[in-house]
Structure 1
Amino acid sequence: MLLFTIVFFATPITGLLFRAVHSPEYASFFPNSTEHLQSSGSFNERFYETLFLDIRSSDEARTSGRVARRLNQDQSGFITMVKRAVRASRSAPEDITSYQSWFLDLDDRWGEPDYQNAIRRAVPKFTDFYLLATLDMKRGETGGFEKSPENQAIFVNVILRTLWISFSVTMICVLLGYPVAWTMANASKKWRNILLLGVLFSFWTSLLVRTAAWVIVLQKEGPVNNALQTLGLIDAPLQLVFNRFGVYVALTHILLPFLIFPLYSVMVGIPKDLMRAAKSLGARPVRAFFSIYVPQTFPGLSAGAILVFVLSIGYYITPALVGGPKDQMLSYFIAFYTNNTINWGLAAALALNLLVVTLVLYSLYQYIIRDKRLRLGGDDV
């Protein structure tokens, strides 16, 4: 099992996360200009000569596109610039008098500081470029940290949105799941089996089908809006899907069993004599419930809550189908940069951020819940 975990789980994930700081495209495929910048760091005639040699050799090896994409991730326009230079290099004379002039005649941007700095940042094989981008930051001309332009600063808001949606779904699951688990734990054997079957039923349905079903149920012509209009509670259909409300409803439906089962497993083992003893000693039912019963359910409640939160923080399909553009979570952008733009570095950096946030919150949870009985690794859970 350990070998299986290392080969098929730990190794691929580590390899993906490594891409967050590993960016060897420029140094690997443009070695001549890389060596020049590492030795002198100046964009002089010699640099443009080595860049011309790299472009011509990369054209033969068909690797110029990878370098162009890497540079374009830092400064837009490089794909056009590199493609134009590659095409021009095929018919370029052998006795070019000035390589710098040759590049500037093709495109003035080869001489602009912003584009030169982007090349300089792409030279090292190990970089913090992607990690800084996920924090809406970048390195300036002097090498210091700067905030990204407002039209590019989106990831901090996405991270905060992901945490808020996950926290909200966890709280909704707690409010809905606690009475369900209590009812199951205190019901007769016959009704307990029926309730267990009802909770398990959602696991037997595909996640995609469950999510798509909420699109039908919550749409303007769906049964919810029709029922509300029939009862006279609303005059016009409500927008219940493709927004934050739809995300909350669908995620709660999917993740609620993950809170009910750990909570139920703890509740079913609590002796019923404790509540009767508290009442016999003069405690009112409400006080006895919150003072005697609820504290004993904390192991299951904490285990279920952290499970729901960790699962919801990485959900992709449900928010993508039932949410709007402003309701997409971090996993959506990881998939987008992996599949659409083929920006593995940024996708890996976002995944690393998601992992770090999860580990930090879990460590904070373990620090707050100091009682051994409340820890997920405790013997009593």
Structure 2
Amino acid sequence: MTDAPTASAADGVLRTNDGVPLKITLRRVTRRQRLIALALVMPLFAFIMVTFVGPIGMMLFRAVDNPVLQEQIPRTVALLNETWDGESAPDEAVFAVLAEEMIQLYKVREVAKVGIRLNYEQSGLRSLITQTARTVARRGEPPWMETFIAIDERWGEPETWGIIQQASPRYTLSFFLAALDLRYDWQGNIVEQPEREQIYVMMFGRTLWISGLVTALCLVLGFPVAHLLATLPMRQSNILMILVLLPFWTSLLVRTTSWIVLLQTEGVINDVLVWIGLIADENRAQMIYNQFGTIIAMTHILLPFMVLPIYSVMRTISPSHMRAARSLGATPFRAFREVYVPQTLPGVGAGSILVFILSIGYYITPALVGGRTGQLISNFIAYHMQKSLNWGLAAALGALLLAGVLVLYWLYNRLIGIDKMKFG
């Protein structure tokens, strides 16, 4: 406990009983309190850095990291950049260095890495690299230029060497270009991907469309439910709240597969429609493995995330506001529209942005019920991470998705104000 301050007759400075100026003592106490607070916060800070900031940083780095050619054929890349004029095939020295490095890679079974990386730029180069390395390692001999061109005529074309040169820098934007359906040509110009390979811009558009529609449906369905919960007596309200929370107690996988049972061609809903005569048995509706199935299942799963924020705000609105509006001559609808609804906007905003952000990155439900037309961009990110192993493209797609969410968050803040958002 700090001693009571006393005033010094000599200089008029307040001091403690031990003679230390009071200002210094207070500074020490404040510093100690800050260190204690920092020590308490550090575990949470470390957890956020390891589980959130770190993975995002690694993802952003992966989107521009391009080490394969620099690590596997460094001498070929260096010599190609120094001596090749870009007009024809390089000279014999480049072929000789490439042959030597290919033989080494073939012996350690790593030549496929070079082929996979170049195949991202142009289809067919993986087989070219692996076939050439195998032939050169087994029976290749100088002059290497003639040997390479004899194996495949593409080694004599400047286009092949231009692709190798464009894929050689340690850091590249080619993955971001691919995520936007663009690419570098062999001369370094940015061009569009072939039409049959233009898919990612369309997938981003589909993801935004489905996420916006799911958010709107959740708002239309959730607002009346939240209003009912907020206005009913507590006993009935608690019972309904249990029904709202019940989906959280059921596995997401179970809820999604339940929709498969309901919506499939031989499912419950189609059977009922046939039984009551609305559709013929041979004209059963296709409600699953398409966008319709994705939208229905996602709306059902994300609906509680819209209801709860709106309900938490509605519970704080006093019923006297509506009564006052009615007493001043407003009709029930006008009082609801002009008095009640504006007070619910913080909850509506919180629920909408929560549902939209969850929708835009949804993976399991579209994977199970989406089929070909109901897939979202997250499904393609997972595909490149797990199957094609193109982590650079997956990271670029994820980075663009993150940037889009941040832009939408910024627009929301500018138009509505993030300070008006309330979750309870």
Aligned equivalent of 2:169: 124
Choose the corresponding residue for 1:258, options 305, 327, 333: 305
Aligned equivalent of 2:9: none
Contact 2:293–2:374 (CA<8 Å) still a contact in 1? no
Choose the corresponding residue for 2:420, options 350, 374, 380: 374
The reply on whether 1:54 has 2:101 as its aligned counterpart is yes
Instruction: Give the secondary-structure state (helix, strand or coil) at the position aligned to 1:239.
Output: coil
Alpha-carbon distance, 1:89 to partner: 2.5
Tell me which structure has the larger Cα radius of gyration: 2
Aligned equivalent of 1:154: 199
Is 11-20 or 150-159 further displaced after alignment?
A: 11-20
Letter in 2 for 1:374: K
Choose the corresponding residue for 2:278, options 233, 252, 255: 233
Q: Which runs of 5+ in 1 are unaligned?
A: none
Using the size of structure 2 for normalisation, the TM-score is 0.86
In percent, how many aligned pairs have the same letter?
A: 43
Instruction: Give the secondary-structure state (helix, strand or coil) at the position aligned to 2:400.
Output: helix
Alpha-carbon distance, 1:373 to partner: 4.8
Contact 1:32–1:53 (CA<8 Å) still a contact in 2? no
Q: Which runs of 5+ in 2 are unaligned?
A: 1-43
Instruction: Give the secondary-structure state (helix, strand or coil) at the position aligned to 2:195.
Output: coil
Aligned equivalent of 1:115: 160
Alpha-carbon distance, 1:69 to partner: 0.4
Letter in 2 for 1:99: W
Q: How far apart in 2 are the matches of 1:336 and 1:53?
A: 35
Contact 1:75–1:115 (CA<8 Å) still a contact in 2? no
Q: How far apart in 1 are the matches of 2:108 and 2:274?
A: 66
Aligned equivalent of 1:222: 267
CA deviation vs aligned residue, 1:150-203 (integer Å, no higher than 9, x gap): 011111000000000000000000000000000000111111111110011101
The reply on whether 1:15 has 2:77 as its aligned counterpart is no
Choose the corresponding residue for 1:347, options 394, 398, 416: 394
Q: CA 1:373 to 1:17, structure 2 compared with 1: closer, same or farther past 3 Å?
A: closer
Is 214-223 or 155-164 further displaced after alignment?
A: 214-223
Aligned equivalent of 1:73: 120
The reply on whether 1:209 has 2:254 as its aligned counterpart is yes
Choose the corresponding residue for 1:140, options 181, 185, 200: 185
CA deviation vs aligned residue, 1:270-299 (integer Å, no higher than 9, x gap): 001000100000000000001000000000
Instruction: Give the secondary-structure state (helix, strand or coil) at the position aligned to 2:287.
Output: coil
Instruction: Give the secondary-structure state (helix, strand or coil) at the position aligned to 1:297.
Output: helix
Give runs of aligned pairs for residues 299-314 of structure 1, distance below 5 A: 299-314=346-361
**Which protein has greater RCO, CA pairs closer than 8 Å, 6+ apart?**
1
Q: How far apart in 1 are the matches of 2:369 and 2:232?
A: 35
Q: How far apart in 1 are the matches of 2:75 and 2:102?
A: 10
Alpha-carbon distance, 1:47 to partner: 1.3
Letter in 1 for 2:379: Y
The reply on whether 1:5 has 2:52 as its aligned counterpart is no
Give runs of aligned pairs for residues 183-332 of structure 1, distance below 5 A: 183-235=228-280, 236-332=283-379
Q: How far apart in 2 are the matches of 1:295 and 1:159?
A: 32
CA deviation vs aligned residue, 1:19-64 (integer Å, no higher than 9, x gap): 1111110111101101112322342222111111111121233321
Is 113-122 or 187-196 further displaced after alignment?
A: 113-122
Q: How far apart in 2 are the matches of 1:44 and 1:180?
A: 75
CA deviation vs aligned residue, 1:126-145 (integer Å, no higher than 9, x gap): 01111001101112344222
Aligned equivalent of 1:174: 219
Q: How far apart in 1 are the matches of 2:186 and 2:78?
A: 20
Q: How far apart in 1 are the matches of 2:307 and 2:156?
A: 62
The reply on whether 1:82 has 2:158 as its aligned counterpart is no
Letter in 1 for 2:304: P
- Count residues in correspondence: 375
Q: How far apart in 1 are the matches of 2:51 and 2:218?
A: 32
Contact 2:166–2:188 (CA<8 Å) still a contact in 1? no
Letter in 2 for 1:162: T
Choose the corresponding residue for 2:208, options 147, 159, 163: 163
Q: CA 1:87 to 1:141, structure 2 compared with 1: closer, same or farther past 3 Å?
A: closer
Letter in 2 for 1:166: S
Using the size of structure 1 for normalisation, the TM-score is 0.95
Q: How far apart in 2 are the matches of 1:177 and 1:114?
A: 57
Alpha-carbon distance, 1:117 to partner: 1.9
Q: How far apart in 1 are the matches of 2:187 and 2:127?
A: 27
Contact 2:179–2:393 (CA<8 Å) still a contact in 1? yes
Instruction: Give the secondary-structure state (helix, strand or coil) at the position aligned to 1:362.
Output: helix
Instruction: Give the secondary-structure state (helix, strand or coil) at the position aligned to 2:373.
Output: helix
Letter in 1 for 2:149: L
Is 125-134 or 221-230 further displaced after alignment?
A: 221-230
Aligned equivalent of 2:16: none
Aligned equivalent of 2:40: none
Is 267-276 or 314-323 further displaced after alignment?
A: 314-323
Q: CA 1:288 to 1:373, structure 2 compared with 1: closer, same or farther past 3 Å?
A: farther
Q: How far apart in 1 are the matches of 2:404 and 2:60?
A: 14
Letter in 1 for 2:219: V
How big is the alpha-carbon RMSD for the aligned residues of Structure 1 and Structure 2?
1.5
Q: How far apart in 2 are the matches of 1:258 and 1:214?
A: 19
Alpha-carbon distance, 1:317 to partner: 1.1
Alpha-carbon distance, 1:320 to partner: 1.3
Q: How far apart in 2 are the matches of 1:203 and 1:92?
A: 64
Alpha-carbon distance, 1:7 to partner: 1.6
